[in-house]
Structure 1
Amino acid sequence: MNEDLKHRFYISIDKSKLNIPMIHNFLCSADLAENMPLEVLAKSIENSLCFGLYEDEQQVGFARVITDYATSALLKDVFILEPYRRQGLGKWFVQYILEYSELQTVPKWFLGTKDAHGLYRRCGFKSLAAPEKMMMRFSH
């Protein structure tokens, strides 16, 4: 990422700065929220470690981590708004999250992605070695 861009953008974990309606609109339009009601998204944000990416006071990216801060972390809902893509912000944003001080002792990270495998491989993620050992349950 170009050094000039690093001076234009910053990352914050301050949840009061998050633009929850914008996050909800983006996740729903990108088919990432599966018609999740706004109140459900707000509760998920309340109970996760969240990262906002900003240019001045305008939020241009978001990610959240579901974690116990000790054994595992699930990286979810990562996005950069379209006008800000292809500048290296995504890689910088994900690296910042992975290097966040409170998560340094977490040995296992998980994520799901439809189309950003290349980005996450550059950040050290690999396909599951034994996907047959992973299971999922849907309650609704």
Structure 2
Amino acid sequence: MSEVIFGDYTISSDPQRLDAARVHHWLSTDAYWALGRSREKQDAAIAASLNFGAYEGSSGEQVAYARIVTDYATFGWLCDVYVDRGARGKGLGTALVTAVRDHLEPVGLRRILLATADAHGVYEKIGFRALESTDKWMALGVQ
């Protein structure tokens, strides 16, 4: 478990702090990649992932979320990164993803991937780059 302070926020991987109902609401109603996702599906995703939340200092209210699916050896998939609309524009998304990256650094993953339609700049700030050779990658399921 890790914890990082960023301004008035605490970023934590403590699963006991997660507000699963809030995470589900954010993703299923406001995240283009997860619209309509069921609560059961979201709870299963949380249970099978390494999860991070960002919490407002005075209230302890969760204001952001990210999860990573990983084997803790070679590969990770960063997904469901979401910052509450009221907490955006303060660098919290970058701080959250940085905390995920730094938490996993000692493991020595060969690759962490993600997909985004609109936040390339956030991820580029901490070292993510577009894949140079996409012809090797394939997907099974909805494109």
Fold-level similarity (TM above 0.5): yes
Q: Is the 8 A contact 1:64 1:78 kept in 2?
A: yes
Task: Kindly provide the amino acid, as one letter, of the partner of residue 6 in structure 2.
Answer: K
Partner of 1:32: 33
Q: 103, 114, 119: which is aligned to 1:116? A: 119
Select between 74-83 and 16-25 the one with higher mean Cα deviation. Answer: 16-25
| Aligned partners of 1:69 and 1:103 also within 8 Å | no
Q: Which segment is superposed worse, 59-68 or 117-126?
A: 117-126
Aligned partner of 1:129 in structure 2 is: 132
Structure 1 position 34, deviation (Å):
4.1
Residues 15 and 76 of structure 1: is their aligned pair in 2 closer, same or farther, counting only changes over 3 Å? same
Amino acid at match of 2:40: E
| Partners of 2:28 and 2:38 within 8 A in 1 | no
Matched, 1:52 2:53: yes
- Unpaired runs of 5+ residues, structure 2, are none
Counterpart code for 2:18: L
- SS at 1:99 equivalent: helix
Contact 1:28–1:34 (CA under 8 A) maintained in structure 2 = yes
Match of 1:9 in 2: 9
For the 8 Å contact 1:69–1:102, the answer to whether it is kept is no
2:95 matched to 1:73? no
Q: CA deviation at 1:129?
A: 1.6
Cα distance in 1 for partners of 2:120, 2:24 equals 23
**Residue 88 (1) aligns with residue 91 (2):** yes
Quote the Cα distance in structure 1 between the aligned partners of 2:108 and 2:87.
31
Task: Say which is worse superposed, 126-135 or 59-68, in terms of deviation.
Answer: 126-135
Q: Find the aligned partners of 1:113 and 1:16 in 2 and give their Cα distance.
A: 28
Q: CA RMSD of the aligned region, Å?
A: 1.7
The residue type equivalent to 1:124 in the other structure is: G
Which residue type is aligned with residue 14 of structure 2?
D
Q: Return the TM-score normalized by structure 1.
A: 0.88
Percent identity reads: 34
Task: Report the CA distance between 1:122 and its aligned residue.
Answer: 1.1
Structure 2 counterpart of 1:117, one-letter code: H
CA contact (8 A) 1:73 1:108 kept: yes
